[in-house]
Amino acid sequence: MKRHFRRIGILGGSFNPAHQGHRHISLQALKRLRLDEVWWLVSPQNPLKPQAGMAPFDARIESAQIVADHPRIRVTDVEKDLGTTYTAETLARLVRRFSNHRFVWLMGADNLAQISHWNRWTQIFQTVPVAVFDRPSYSLEALSGKAARRFRRERVKESRAGRLADMRPPAWVFLHTPLNATSATALRARGLFRRPGG
């Protein structure tokens, strides 16, 4: 009997706060990559971001649950549970723990542009397939950056995105989608992130 693997997109971040841009990418991923679910991995503390201005972890989890509002988007604290700090380590542990899942790392073009600053960033591409989503003003920089050049031969045609979860890494796709320019930085600057219930 053929084994059924669940196809899971992973969207990691501080979610400080979660916003419609995160939800937009998740809905596009469910559709374009033919995923069963998208998991939001709320990071206890992104090592590349200062602690100053970071809302409490529980508040960020709660805001993410409010924004996600979809039966196939799951907000998780799995990184806190695993005790991991870096994405490469988190993904390696997830792949081992959930052997009946096929994971895809999801990120915006802004993250592809600077992923070469991440700890063991090439390991991310070696561990799971990666889907990169177009973001206003970042795409050109991302596609000419270090990561895109390093893995240029492993880039998958957009027309094959629906099969990405089943591909052996390294494999990545750049998806042109309807754009959503919402950013957590802008929301914080406008004072739009408050602790839920506060």
The predicted-structure confidence for 151-165, as pLDDT tens digits, reads as follows: 999 999 999 999 999
pLDDT bucket at 3, cuts 50 / 70 / 90: low
The predicted-structure confidence for 27-63, as pLDDT tens digits, reads as follows: 999 999 999 999 999 998 766 666 777 899 999 999 9
* 12 φ, ψ (degrees, to nearest 5): -100, 160
Segment 4-16 shows an average pLDDT of 94
pTM recorded for the entire structure: 0.87
Task: Say how many C-beta atoms besides its own lie within 10 A of residue 171's C-beta.
Answer: 21
Helix ranges restricted to H, the chain: 20-32, 57-68, 78-82, 87-97, 109-114, 121-127, 139-143, 146-150, 184-189
Q: Which residue has the higher pLDDT, 182 or 170?
A: 170
CATH of region 6-189:
3.40.50.620
* pLDDT recorded at residue 177: 83
The owner of tokens 């802004």 is: 110
Q: CA of 159: how far to CAs of 32, 68, 175, 176, in Å?
A: 9, 27, 9, 11
Helix 57-68 and helix 20-32, axial crossing angle in degrees, nearest 10: 50
Whether 196 has a pLDDT exceeding 50, the answer reads: no
- 3-state class of 31 per DSSP? helix
Q: CA of 63: how far to CAs of 38, 56, 72, 93, 139, in Å?
A: 17, 11, 17, 26, 28
Structure tokens at 67: 């924004």
* pLDDT recorded at residue 138: 84
Taking Cα atoms as reference points, which of 103, 87, 107 lies closest to residue 95?
103
Contact 107, 138 (CB under 8 A): no
